[in-house]
Amino acid sequence: MEKSQYVAIEGPIGVGKSSLAELLAKELGGRTLLEAVDDNPFLPRFYADIKKYAFQTQLFFLLSRYQQQKEMFQQDLFRSSVVADYLFAKDRIFAYLNLDENELCLYEQVYRLLDTRIPKPDLVIYLQASTGVLLERISGRGIDYEKQVREDYLEKLVDAYNRYFFYYSDTPLLVVNTTDIDFVNNPADLASLVKEIRSIKGGAQHYIPVASR
């Protein structure tokens, strides 16, 4: 990778997106763009009753992500590298997972109006992990509303992410399975991953950590 790049990190809840975004921004001498998840007032109620609060939660996230990305682009923050802990396009993963047919129709109309105005990343890093590992990491974070995340919902989310990125071709893509590595507490894991990121030229690539080989 060259300097002054826009990198987006994606993956299901608990996989380590924000942690890697902050670490990678330091390595690249850039800055982070972190999603304001806790600003969504519907989120705690969503995990308690997904069907009832899915549409409100989804629409809030869509508009919030759009506004954040728009402000970033207008301020010309791309003069230095930017590492985001989300990909704007991933919003549709959750929409198709949680909304009913009528809600989805309205959602798509709004999404299509906004998506064309959002800059595309130079690289997307998709972090994977087993459902068991994700549940352990979520439990370790100790966030109250996340305690309501059900295993069956998490499994459906992981499957939805895998399907989405299996067909993803909008930008260069690096797929990283984090089940057996810890880039937060193991400097060697982070260094190896950063080396791989710097070598990305294009297309879709799978990074197999040494611990997984």
Please check whether residues 127 and 213 belong to one and the same domain. yes
Nearest alpha-carbon partner for 134 in 160, 155, 148: 155
How many structural domains compose the chain? 2
Please check whether residues 149 and 212 belong to one and the same domain. yes
What is the chain's length?
213
Q: Among the options 85, 91, 122, 189, which is catalytic?
A: 85
Lowest average pLDDT, out of 1-5, 69-73, 123-127, 130-134, goes to: 1-5
Q: Model confidence over 45-83: pLDDT tens digits? A: 998 899 999 999 999 999 999 998 888 777 655 567 889
Host domain of residue 189: 122-213
Please check whether residues 112 and 132 belong to one and the same domain. no
Indicate the average pLDDT of the chain.
Answer: 88
- Domain final position from 94, 119, 144: 119
Whether 85 sits among the annotated catalytic residues: the reply is yes
Q: Is residue 38 part of a domain?
A: yes
Please check whether residues 191 and 154 belong to one and the same domain. yes
Q: Is residue 21 part of a domain?
A: no
- pLDDT for 75 equals 66
Please check whether residues 128 and 210 belong to one and the same domain. yes
Q: Phi, psi (5° rounding) for residue 86?
A: -160, 160
- Our CA angle for 196, 84, 110, nearest 5°, is 130
**Strand ordering across the sheet containing 6-10:** 31-33, 82-84, 6-10, 123-128, 173-177, 204-207
- Domain final position from 89, 119, 149: 119
CA–CA gap between residue 107 and residue 122 (Å, rounded): 26
Residue 2 predicted with pLDDT over 80: no
